[in-house]
Structure 1
Amino acid sequence: MKKVWRTGLMIALIAGLAACSSPKAPQATTGQSGSAVQTEGGAAGGEPKGGIAVYGFHDDTMTFWDPSDSYANEIIAMNNMYETLLRYNPRTKSFDKELAEDYTVSKDGLTWTFHLRKNVKFHTGAPMTADSVKKSIERTIKRGKGAASIWDSVDKINVVDEHTVEFKLKYSAPLDTVSSSGYAAFIFDADALDKNGEQWVNEGHDVGSGPYTVQKWTKGSELILTDFPDYWQGWKANNFQKVVFKTTPEANTRQQMMEAGKMDFTDQMPIEMIEAMRANPDITVEQTNSFQQLIMQFNTQKAPLNNPKVRQALAYAIPYDSIVKDILVGAGEQSRGSIPKGLWGYDATLAQYNYDPEKAKSLLKEAGVTGGKLTLTYLSGDEFERRISELLKVEFGKIGFNVELKSMLWDAQWDLAKTQDPTKRQDIFLLYWYPDYADPYSFMKNLYESEENIVFNLAYYKNPEYDKLVEEAKKVSGLDRSKAIALYKQAQEILIDQVPGLSVYDLEYVRVRSAKFKGYVDNPAYPNVVFFYDTYRE
């Protein structure tokens, strides 16, 4: 009965989606429609007949539409519409070739040459060439938004021939890592994007080369992608024809849809719901490693947290084991340093703070601080952050601090953190951080390197010695990774001693998917992304 009902649902959805349109997101006349307009026989390699995949997401999927600027939730959809030269492989900890079929690096690490695939088309119908790569990356660099800084090492991009592009670097950066980023590394039809303009792309259009292209977008509701018939890898019968990213903030609703077989994959489910779904044979629950950490940043420009001993005291007042066991229910582990486990640069020999309230009180006495009032801000709607904040209020209270908790929307939380007067900012800022690309520089630079204009160093920390170590590590990482790791270790030891902030725990993702949804491999370099071309339904 369930099998018949599900098949009927898929047929009804296909018919409904093929007929739908949106005045806010009109379909482009070229390349923005999928299987409904395929020529007989479909694309080379077959025609997808696998039905519709549904991803239930806790928030609105799309924030930024421009592939140069993308830097938010839309990563889950953009990586199905757009592609990069390489893709990080978590199993081998190396890089798979995507739009590049091969690449070479000079002995000095300053010249990277990519040989491109010859049968790639953009959704606009234009072919991908070396000129496309050059224009895509140069446009991203010029706009300077999102994660564009990952290309800081690039001095010049040369078109060698139609399918060969050469990158000349200022220093030996790991361009394989950079070019595989889930942000700011997309290759796209820059000519079409510039011709149609920002309003056009922001209405819900794409200019990528990925397996799926936009069919319809309803802001705050859903994004529907459909197969691109001329996709360079071709199509198999069990590939999904369409992918729906459905905005579903209510965890109860997502649970009901998963149990009813109306959703294939979802994220950020409360622990108690996950435990209930584990017992359902129609649902698979998996726990996987991530590169994501919960970060606590202290306002180093405001008393009493301008005193390192006070910051150390707070670090000793955190009940790490209780957070991991009672709040995460084992879905993570205490961080060791500022680089997450599994990412190169992680060092298991680094010291950790442990829960020691008496040590905390002793440090406060040395600092001449008897307590006081602190303000802690966290993201509204994040259940883990709420529970942890409430626990910290109790524990910091035990050593003399009265903590005011402020649950805030991200924009409001970030705006407060960037207030010109340091004394009017929060004392403690909680946030999650995961890397722009699979490189420790994303953590070490963004969170603690000196900033003239405040962005993500919300500890307001300034240490020239730390800055020098991090920048030197970045410059040698492409040629001598062992040296880079040693430099990053020295930089982390400074953070552990000075405690401008600390990583509380390395999060483990808990993935909830239909038991019939196959082919999914979690990739921590692309958080929450499902590469739907690789998946199918049994």
Structure 2
Amino acid sequence: MRRLLVLGVMAVLALAGCGGGQVPEISAANLPSTKDSTFVYLSNLDIVTDWDPASSYSNEIMAMQNIYDSLTTYNPRTRRAAPRLAERWQASSDGKVWTFTLRSGMTFHTGRPVDGSAVKASIERTKRIGAGAAYIWDSVQQITVKDPLTVEFRLKYAAPLDLIASSDYAAYIYDTQAAGTGDLKKWFQAGRDAGSGPYTVASWKKGREKELLLRAFDGYWGGWEGPHYRNAEFRVTPDLDRAYRLLLRGEASYVRRLNRTLYQKARTTAGVRTLQVPSFQNMLVLFNTASGPLADVRLRKAVQKAVDYDGLIAALKGAGAPASGLVPEGLLGHTPGLTQKQDPAGAAALLNEAGYGPGGRPLRLTLTYAQGDDDEELLVRKLRSALAELNVQLDAKAMQWTQQWDQGKSADPAKRQDILVMYWWPDYADAYSWFLNVFHSAEPVSFNLTYLKDRDVDAKIDRLPSLLTNDRPAAERAYAELQRKLIEEEAVVAVPWVSNYQRAYLGNVQGYTDNPAYPNVVFVHELIPGG
């Protein structure tokens, strides 16, 4: 599940209910009005796990992207970085020197200026702490403040710094002086913020349903002219049926996740809008290459072939699309022709070759997946059934993500699972995140939960940032080569689908779109509260 439950042209399907399925709870009387400008976001998971923008790497992205700004933002239509705190930038011909020019007159919520010194201090602190997605700044060798609005980055190797600076994690610019002489990390963890975004923290009640309330920051550089939501409330509602009822009663503005049945209901409900949009998030089935039965590549390939890819896509009813390789369509590195297909006969032959399968010894495998995720449960149920026909017993355990991840990272190989199911999406809009985090060797184990140690793979991954900057065709070829090696040759992963996000929100919420580079984020300031 990575951290939460992560396009080229935004092929958005937005459907507004316009008849049938009348629901008595929804009426003009209880829909929020323009004057009652609080946007209520319902999540099935806790909102905040880490308040420090340097190390934040979890669910709080939903709120943090409304509190903090980065130098740039990702535009899914142009597939390029767009201005945010920086109004323009340029790179040297070799891609090793980048100069960013900031907007003038910006301030943090603390009242201090957002200037070159603040940019330098926040990125250097994030690098120094080295947690979460801080690796995105690994290429940065030196940051120089040329003047209050000009910042120069000198890199150790060529890298797409404009895209990196739009990352969904670790790219936040913040006031490092917010705590004065006190401990800044402790200051953050009390539920405080030091951002420059449109909203600032009004209240935080950890463990409560109404966990977080943000209020408008009047000094926001983007301005408040015209109608805007002045407040954003984040509520934790694990019961999806209850979340849907709250939406119908007008007590919620937006539900980030519904199950397949509820989403189909929402599509035909008057007063509710739905949106289905491709994402950069895919499902990964990771195989333990270091210990246990799946250290045998023949058995890994057999499990790959047992997955009912087409059956899963049909059962997901629009919530998933076929994957071709590891990289979703719309990102550099997407490689057509790597779509996997179920092959029971091929799986049986590989199992027999290894001494297992029909007519051979029984094989027993362990698998962990996220508790409460209907789509992961569907995957496990169908995989267990397919493997049973091949004389393979699958012992699957649903776990909270933190427990699942802790087991996967265990220093004792005997305590690790044979198969781990989780979602992945990029930290910035480039495929590098999959390869570096999930398939590059690393000690201690973090997200590289196949435990693969292959020097050739590592070397190819390490070259990717430089290729992306200097030779995009070569980068495309490198991504394709790596995917074929990992999926077809090494068989360390199966990729059953790419997620389609399915959202439901009130009909009076105007201007909502979904940016796949910022999974599950609603940029509330961009919305218009309608009547």
Task: Give TM-score, length-normalised by structure 1.
Answer: 0.90
Does 2:477 match 1:521? no
Q: Is the 8 A contact 1:136 1:188 kept in 2?
A: yes
Tell me how far 1:329 sits from its aligned partner. Answer: 1.1
Q: Which amino acid aligns with 2:252?
A: M
* Matching residue within 325, 329, 339 for 1:341: 329
Does 2:497 match 1:505? yes
Q: Is the 8 A contact 1:292 1:340 kept in 2?
A: yes
Tell me how far 1:189 sits from its aligned partner. Answer: 0.7
Per the alignment, residue 354 of structure 1 pairs with 341
Tell me how far 1:195 sits from its aligned partner. Answer: 3.7
Per the alignment, residue 304 of structure 2 pairs with 315
Q: Is the 8 A contact 1:50 1:237 kept in 2?
A: no
Q: Which amino acid aligns with 1:2?
A: S
Q: Is the 8 A contact 2:319 2:501 kept in 1?
A: yes
Q: Which amino acid aligns with 1:498?
A: E
Cα deviation 1:58-99 (Å, max 9, x = unaligned): 111111100111100000100000001100011111121010
Q: Which amino acid aligns with 1:474?
A: P
Does 2:475 match 1:489? no
Distance 2:389 2:322 in 1: 22
Q: Is the 8 A contact 2:30 2:250 kept in 1?
A: no
Per the alignment, residue 291 of structure 1 pairs with 280
Q: Which amino acid aligns with 2:204?
A: W
Residue correspondence of structure 1 range 153-168 to structure 2 within 5 A: 153-168=139-154
Q: Which amino acid aligns with 1:230?
A: G
Does 2:440 match 1:449? yes
CA RMSD of aligned residues (A): 1.5
Q: Which amino acid aligns with 1:339?
A: V
Q: Is the 8 A contact 2:293 2:365 kept in 1?
A: no
What SS does the corresponding residue of 1:207 show, helix, strand or coil? coil
Per the alignment, residue 247 of structure 1 pairs with 236
Per the alignment, residue 194 of structure 2 pairs with 207
Does 2:133 match 1:144? no
Distance 2:51 2:448 in 1: 26
Distance 1:385 1:248 in 2: 19
What SS does the corresponding residue of 1:286 show, helix, strand or coil? strand
Cα deviation 1:142-194 (Å, max 9, x = unaligned): 00011000100000000001110000001111101110011000111111146
Per the alignment, residue 246 of structure 2 pairs with 257
* Matching residue within 187, 203, 212 for 1:223: 212
What SS does the corresponding residue of 1:488 show, helix, strand or coil? helix
Does 2:388 match 1:400? no
Distance 1:302 1:128 in 2: 50
* Matching residue within 402, 407, 417 for 2:408: 417
Q: Which amino acid aligns with 1:204?
A: G
Distance 1:193 1:92 in 2: 39
Per the alignment, residue 225 of structure 2 pairs with 236
What SS does the corresponding residue of 1:253 show, helix, strand or coil? helix
Q: Is the 8 A contact 1:61 1:73 kept in 2?
A: yes
Identical amino acids, percent of aligned pairs:
39
Does 2:313 match 1:324? yes
What SS does the corresponding residue of 1:477 show, helix, strand or coil? helix
Tell me how far 1:479 sits from its aligned partner. Answer: 2.1
Distance 1:412 1:59 in 2: 15
Does 2:85 match 1:99? yes
Distance 1:173 1:110 in 2: 7
Per the alignment, residue 84 of structure 1 pairs with 70
What SS does the corresponding residue of 2:434 show, helix, strand or coil? helix
Q: Is the 8 A contact 1:473 1:485 kept in 2?
A: no
Q: Is the 8 A contact 2:71 2:166 kept in 1?
A: yes
What SS does the corresponding residue of 1:3 show, helix, strand or coil? coil
Per the alignment, residue 102 of structure 2 pairs with 116
Q: Which runs of structure 1 show a deviation greater than 4 angstroms over 4 or more consecutive aligned residues?
A: none
Q: Is the 8 A contact 1:75 1:183 kept in 2?
A: yes
Distance 1:91 1:321 in 2: 29
Distance 1:448 1:413 in 2: 18
Q: Which amino acid aligns with 2:285?
A: M
What SS does the corresponding residue of 1:374 show, helix, strand or coil? strand
Tell me how far 1:224 sits from its aligned partner. Answer: 0.4
Distance 1:49 1:131 in 2: 39
Tell me how far 1:200 sits from its aligned partner. Answer: 2.4
Q: Which amino acid aligns with 1:212?
A: Y
Tell me how far 1:201 sits from its aligned partner. Answer: 1.5
Q: Return the structure number with greater relative CO, CA threshold 8 A, min gap 6.
A: 2
What SS does the corresponding residue of 2:294 show, helix, strand or coil? coil
Q: Is the 8 A contact 2:199 2:216 kept in 1?
A: yes
Tell me how far 1:423 sits from its aligned partner. Answer: 2.9
Per the alignment, residue 461 of structure 2 pairs with 470
Cα deviation 1:222-247 (Å, max 9, x = unaligned): 20000001111211231111110111
Per the alignment, residue 7 of structure 2 pairs with none
Distance 1:5 1:517 in 2: 14
What SS does the corresponding residue of 2:177 show, helix, strand or coil? helix
Distance 2:380 2:135 in 1: 32
Q: Is the 8 A contact 1:519 1:534 kept in 2?
A: yes
Per the alignment, residue 11 of structure 2 pairs with none
Does 2:279 match 1:279? no
Tell me how far 1:336 sits from its aligned partner. Answer: 1.1
Residue correspondence of structure 1 range 50-69 to structure 2 within 5 A: 51-69=37-55
Q: In 2 relative to 1, CA 204–302 (structure 1 residues): closer, same or farther, beyond 3 Å? A: same
What SS does the corresponding residue of 1:295 show, helix, strand or coil? strand
Q: Is the 8 A contact 2:312 2:496 kept in 1?
A: no
Cα deviation 1:253-277 (Å, max 9, x = unaligned): 1100111111111112111011111
Distance 1:2 1:415 in 2: 47
Q: Which moved more, 1:470-479 or 1:492-501?
A: 470-479
Tell me how far 1:502 sits from its aligned partner. Answer: 2.2
Q: Is the 8 A contact 1:49 1:237 kept in 2?
A: no
Cα deviation 1:457-504 (Å, max 9, x = unaligned): 111111111111111122221222221111111111101221111222
Distance 1:170 1:526 in 2: 27
Tell me how far 1:196 sits from its aligned partner. Answer: 4.4
Distance 2:147 2:405 in 1: 45
Distance 2:255 2:265 in 1: 15
Residue correspondence of structure 1 range 358-369 to structure 2 within 5 A: 358-369=345-356
Q: Structure 2 unaligned segments of length 5 or more: list them.
A: 1-25
What SS does the corresponding residue of 1:2 show, helix, strand or coil? coil
